[in-house]
């Protein structure tokens, strides 16, 4: 009689990564509207963007009555320095408890068990899992001992995971997981995966690239079966990441490499309808995706800067409408550029709530310039005439201003 495969128990408020096709954690492309759109198109789970533990510690949690979201915010670093300027708060993290319930994984950037636990506890009641970023190769992360830097200190990384499992996962009944990259040799990767699986985590995602590799380089899948086998032996769900184009390909790769799940990143960033099955029609045209995205962004009062960035990822860059949108200063202008007349009322309301002022139109600018010329003429000469007939102005040093100041300084 054969025994059933070992499995780390999934906590009651957690989620099993097995059989899931999920949205990868992406800075800027993983904010709330992008996550909700991915879920709309069929993503089984969504990872939020990496959020540094120290940025979460000290935040204030509020329920937003307008958007029905939970917002974690803090006073900006320069807030309060000038008493005459109103203090502004920066939104650090935003989630939608109703629409993301049971499907949101909070990814944390950390280099310390203590701060990781302190930050994770703030968001743990509202997410299905905490994931440690041990794969980001960017200097802003690695220079602080976070991200891919943790791959070089496996004992320290294991201590962070163990602390989270004991002090957060067990307390809030959610899973703890980790996202890594490949190491220099299969032997080193295997040893790392074994060590991490022994900490009590429920899931491990492997980005099939080494730390020095860039996204344009093809993913390496030579070690994937080995990693999947180690995870399976330890009872930990294994998710693959790297060059997965859509749900159909994800399912094929999961079967081929015996992994439990697959993560979509750049493909979902360019078109989140990549989560749709072929039976559902597969990829949608960008116009429909953009319209769906704008509706969600308006629903949650998303920062215009992030919305503008995301639109740039979703739209073909060679189109004239793309260039129009890149010049827009707010939601109202964007809806006009995209011919989304039915969203204009909501766009104006969001612009007002976000204190976005509409840029003056060309007619207004032309009128202002005309009035300015009239005023100049009433004074006797136009600006152009004054410029052409006025005497040449000398520099301060030529007029002795600089020398006078220097003499005064020497006199003191």
Secondary structure of residue 53 in the 3-state scheme: helix
**Contact assessment for residue 297 and residue 327, using Cβ atoms and an 8 Å cutoff:** no
Q: With CA atoms as reference, report the closest residue to 130 among 40, 42, 13.
A: 13
**Contact assessment for residue 89 and residue 74, using Cβ atoms and an 8 Å cutoff:** yes
How far apart are alpha carbons 353 and 368 in whole angstroms? 28
DSSP characters over 259-322:
-SEEEE-HHHHH-GGGGS-TTTTSSPPHHHHHHHHHHHHHHTT--HHHHHHHHHHHS-TTSHHH
The structure tokens listed for 114 are: 């203590």
Residues comprising the chain, all counted: 412
DSSP characters over 84-146:
TSPP-EEEEEEE-TTTSTTTEEEEEE-S-HHHHHHHHHHHGGG-SEEEEEE----HHHHTTT-
Query: Of 136, 208, 231, 238, which is the active-site residue?
Result: 136
| Bridge partner list, 107 | 131
Q: With CA atoms as reference, report the closest residue to 302 among 100, 32, 97, 93.
A: 32
**Contact assessment for residue 31 and residue 50, using Cβ atoms and an 8 Å cutoff:** no
- Angle (nearest 5°) at CA 397 between 391 and 398: 40
Active site residue 136: yes
How far apart are alpha carbons 24 and 95 in whole angstroms? 16
**Contact assessment for residue 109 and residue 146, using Cβ atoms and an 8 Å cutoff:** yes
Burial readout 286-306 (b: 16 or more C-beta within 10 A, e: otherwise): beebbbbbbbbbbbbbbbbeb
Active site residues: 136
């Amino acid at each position: 009689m054969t025994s059933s495969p070992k499995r780390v128990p999934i906590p009651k408020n957690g989620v099993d990564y097995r059989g899931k096709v999920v949205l990868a954690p992406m800075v800027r492309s993983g904010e709330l509207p992008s996550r909700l759109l991915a879920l709309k198109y069929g993503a089984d789970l969504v990872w939020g963007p990496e959020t540094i533990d120290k940025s979460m510690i000290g935040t204030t949690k509020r329920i937003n009555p307008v958007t029905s979201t939970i917002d974690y915010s803090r006073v900006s670093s320069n807030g309060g320095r000038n008493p005459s300027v109103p203090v502004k708060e920066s939104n650090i993290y935003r989630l939608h408890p109703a629409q993301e319930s049971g499907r949101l994984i909070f990814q944390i950037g950390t280099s310390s068990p203590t701060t990781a636990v302190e930050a994770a506890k703030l968001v743990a009641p509202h997410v299905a899992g905490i994931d440690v970023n041990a794969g980001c190769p960017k200097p802003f992360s690695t220079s602080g001992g976070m991200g891919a830097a943790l791959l070089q200190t496996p004992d320290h990384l294991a201590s962070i995971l163990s602390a989270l499992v004991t002090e957060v996962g067990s307390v809030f009944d959610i899973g703890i997981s980790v996202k890594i990259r490949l190491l220099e040799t299969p032997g080193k990767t295997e040893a790392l995966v074994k060590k991490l699986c022994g900490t009590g985590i429920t899931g491990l995602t492997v980005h099939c690239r080494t730390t020095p590799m860039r996204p344009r380089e093809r993913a390496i899948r030579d070690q994937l079966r080995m990693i999947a086998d180690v995870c399976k032996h330890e009872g930990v769900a294994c998710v693959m990441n790297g060059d997965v184009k859509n749900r159909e390909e994800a399912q094929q790769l999961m079967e081929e490499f015996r992994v439990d799940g697959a993560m979509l990143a750049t493909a979902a960033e360019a078109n989140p309808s990549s989560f749709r099955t072929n039976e559902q029609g597969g990829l949608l045209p960008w116009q429909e995706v953009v319209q769906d995205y704008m509706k969600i962004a308006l629903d949650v009062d998303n920062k215009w800067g992030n919305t503008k960035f995301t639109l740039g990822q979703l739209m073909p860059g060679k189109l004239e409408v793309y260039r129009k949108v890149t010049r827009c200063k707010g939601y109202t202008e964007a809806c006009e550029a995209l011919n989304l007349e039915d969203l204009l009322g909501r766009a104006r309301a969001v612009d007002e709530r976000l204190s976005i002022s509409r840029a003056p139109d060309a007619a207004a600018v032309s009128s202002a310039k005309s009035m300015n010329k009239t005023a100049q003429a009433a004074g006797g000469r136009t600006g152009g005439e004054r410029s052409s007939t006025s005497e040449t102005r000398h520099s301060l040093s030529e007029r002795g201003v600089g020398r006078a100041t220097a003499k005064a300084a020497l006199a003191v």
